[in-house]
Chain A
Amino acid sequence: MQTPSFKGTHLWDRLCWAKENLEAYQSDYRVVYEDSIDECAKILVPDPNWMACALQGGILPPVWVYHELAKDEAQPDFKKHTRGYLLHETEPVGAMTEEEAIEYLIMKDCPQSVWQDWDSGNRPKMVICRKEQLPQTREWRNAWRISSEIAA
């Protein structure tokens, strides 16, 4: 199905179109990351409807738009967004592969402190894996760490 020309269309309206016209896609990829040595590993799970938008192309804004909005919100005098138009008026990105979509999602939803230097320490802070590689039970969930086995 061809994506309509969405430039200038409110992102929420684009998501309405996607919900009606695209089939949700459950990705098997998971992103395991550690952003604090005092906390257990966190696992990012892609949303199936978002993944459908990423694979389709022409719907989602470039990831830098979210970074700009995050900068605005980090200002001490932030009250509400005044540059929301960046989400709606910036040319949408094209179709991504599943792997490219995961990279985009990492940059959108993981802390920058994790993905900017994920491999610069003694051990990796982030791993992209398949969900089958994660423990099949939730035992000791609150003590999970990235294992050297999965990091390799």
Chain B
Amino acid sequence: MAGKIIADTIETGAGADISTSYVVNGSAKAWVNFTQISTQTVRDSFNISSITDVSSGRTFPISYTSNMSDGNYVGSLYQNAVTGTGYINFDNQYVGGFGSKTTSSFGERSYGSSGDIDSNAVELIIQGDLA
């Protein structure tokens, strides 16, 4: 592959340096932005092969293209539990679910004041170790 750079450390102009392992291990390994409204659709993503519409407000599995090493990775989830996508459109005094983690997939549940509900904005970031 052209343009390959091999380096153990990265140094700033001020002389501060960090190991490249900080960068590699700290990078998000997958992310996805999708809607559960109508036919669920992925707007954009990285390292995701498919999502599966299970029922209202529930998407499982959300599958990786490049598997994680184990199921102990972490994720950050935002789901707005309403049909809008603006910053004023949310019903998230209730917390959505993120779990059922395996090395190949995970699940997401959108929950609002009326129970399981399709969200127009489901946004997830995954960090951890790749297989």
Contact = CB atoms under 8 A, between A and B. Distances in A.
**Chain A contact residues (Cβ within 8 angstroms of B): what range?**
35 or more
A50 B47 CA distance: 8
A12 B47 contact: yes
A15 B64 CA distance: 11
Interface residues of B, number: 38
A87 interface: yes
B39 A131 contact: yes
B39 A42 contact: no
A150 interface: no
A56 B48 CA distance: 16
Nearest to B43: A48
Interface stretch (B11-19, B49-57, B74-82, B87-95): B49-57
A87 B131 contact: yes
A146 interface: no
Contacts of A24: 44
B67 A84 contact: yes
B1 A81 contact: no
A49 B53 contact: no
Contact of B65 (A48, A50, A84, A138): A50
Interface in A62-113: 66, 69-70, 73, 79-81, 83-84, 87, 105, 108-109
Nearest to A9: B1
B52 A109 contact: yes
Contacts of A136: 38
Contacts of B1: 4-6, 9, 13, 17
B70 A79 contact: yes
Of listed A17, A47, A69, A73, residue having the most chain B CB within 10 A: A47
A30 B40 CA distance: 10
Interface in B78-107: 102-105
A40 B54 CA distance: 7
A-B pairs, 8 with minimum CB distance: A84-B131, A80-B70, A81-B131, A43-B53, A11-B66, A50-B49, A109-B63, A142-B55
